[in-house]
Amino acid sequence: MGSVKDLSVLKEPSAVATGTGRFVFSDRYSVFDWGEMPDQIAEKGKAICLAAAYFFERLAEMGIKTHYIGVVVDGAAKRLRDLRQPAATMEVKLLRVLKPKIRDNTYDYSVYREERGNMLIPLEVIYRNSLPAGASVFRRLREGSLTLDQIGLTEMPVPGQVLAKPLLDVSTKLEATDRYINWEEARAIAGLTETEIKEIRHIALRVNDLITEEAERLGLYNEDGKVEFGFDEQRTLMLVDALGTLDECRFTFEGLPVSKEIARIFYRQTDWCREVEEAKMKNRVGWKELVQTAPPQLPERLRNAIAMVYKAYTNELTGRRWFDTPPLKEVLADIRSYLPK
């Protein structure tokens, strides 16, 4: 079980063969790497499942390999065109997840230099088309862990700055807290070749282009998002997990967030969030044990509005009215009043 979706294993993966599993997308949500939050967003799981399926099917048309098999209805995996109602379960090919060991409070990735295929790559690749307020880039520039040269700029950016070309960032995937690293460290810890790094970057940019195009069709701007990769039995790259959804992407509509960033904005004002940030600075591995305050629930009105955003996005992305919600732009016009000015 994950913080926002559960996994049912139908066939275990091995070193020589992919397995088969089913993601059950829940109505849970997570912010700031906390895991499951204290309340749920109605029908979010179905909306996320259908949006991810839409993008996986578009990528297949583009010749990009993914782990997607279909959306499960009545026990069978089907394509979106064959569905008559929304569903929250997706069948996928399963890869091995080889977790790094913790030694002396650091992560040991040596297993990725020993294994060759049929495994998750322990990285998240983040594409950035702009730098919205709250983007980690600003903090990393202040701390000195990121330089202007690394993001192709000559002067300090400002919140909301649109980049001349997309920036590809990379972070760890299997640590207690995602940790931004440079591409050379990413290559080293994941046991990748230079050619594989180039291919990962190339695919990430193609995914970004597709999502940007689809977002523009809905009147949205694609600020940033993430993708994840794995290797099949022949060590061929494939996209895994989910992508193009409001959990994996940060979209905006005339500056208004259209993603789970709406929830993050609320939580950034809380004592719980401040305590989380302080704990992460003290202990990168065991920070959650230092947090004494429990996260509060979202206000009911805001929670219901976020649910409508998820459902309206999926309706308009897929061109089908799966959910009984107002048009996305109407929902977003209403939601402005819920957020701090």
Instruction: Please give the mean pLDDT across all residues of the chain.
Output: 93
What's the rounded mean pLDDT across residues 304-315?
96
State residue 218's pLDDT score. Answer: 96
pLDDT tens across 189-245, in order?
999 999 999 999 999 999 999 999 999 999 999 999 999 999 999 999 999 999 999
One-letter identity of residue 225: G
- What domain range is 162 assigned to? 5-338
Residue 122: which CATH number? 3.30.470.20
pLDDT tens across 236-280, in order?
999 999 999 999 999 999 888 898 888 988 999 999 999 999 999
β-strand partners of 221: 252
Find out whether 285 and 102 touch, Cβ atoms under 8 Å.
yes
Find out whether 239 and 64 touch, Cβ atoms under 8 Å.
yes
Of 4-13, 78-87, 172-181, 232-241, minimum mean pLDDT range: 172-181
pLDDT tens across 110-134, in order?
999 999 999 999 999 999 999 987 7
Q: How far apart are CA 44 and CA 24, in angstroms?
A: 11
Of 38-47, 86-95, 145-154, minimum mean pLDDT range: 145-154
The count of domains in the chain is 1
